[in-house]
Amino acid sequence: MMRKLVLGMVIGFAVPLLVHAETWQGVPIVDSQCYAKVKDNPDGHTVTCALACAKNGYGIITSDGTFLKLDKSGNARVVDLLKQTRKKDHLRVTVDGERNGDTIKVNSVSLN
């Protein structure tokens, strides 16, 4: 019984340490469908294209070239930002959230 209690306490303290908020600043945002086409020149990806492909979801390209998908609420926020921007291309964002594998649970996202 005591072992289970101690194990439960260890797990209870360890799990929050594994999940922590991160910030990706000034990174390219692209839709999932176009990522392969634009990964070498993401700044050429247009707002028009990104909105046309919104149903596929969005992701960021990190400094090491990794594509991290945004969660459902992050995708909805990006659509709103893209609809409001006057930019035509060079879509860069700052994302705060928690990474889980190749997906970010978005806390906030803003266009740069």
> In whole angstroms, what separates CA 29 from the centre of its chain?
8
Q: How many CA atoms lie within 13 A of 102 on its CB side?
A: 9
pLDDT digit string (tens) for 20-57? 899 999 999 999 999 999 999 999 999 999 999 999 99
Token pair in block for residue 59: 């992701």
Place of tokens 């991160």: 22
pTM for the full predicted model: 0.81
81-97 average pLDDT score: 98
Q: 67 Cβ partners below 8 Å, 6+ apart?
A: 35, 39, 59, 60, 61, 102
Q: Dihedral through CA 38, CA 42, CA 48, CA 52, nearest 10?
A: 50
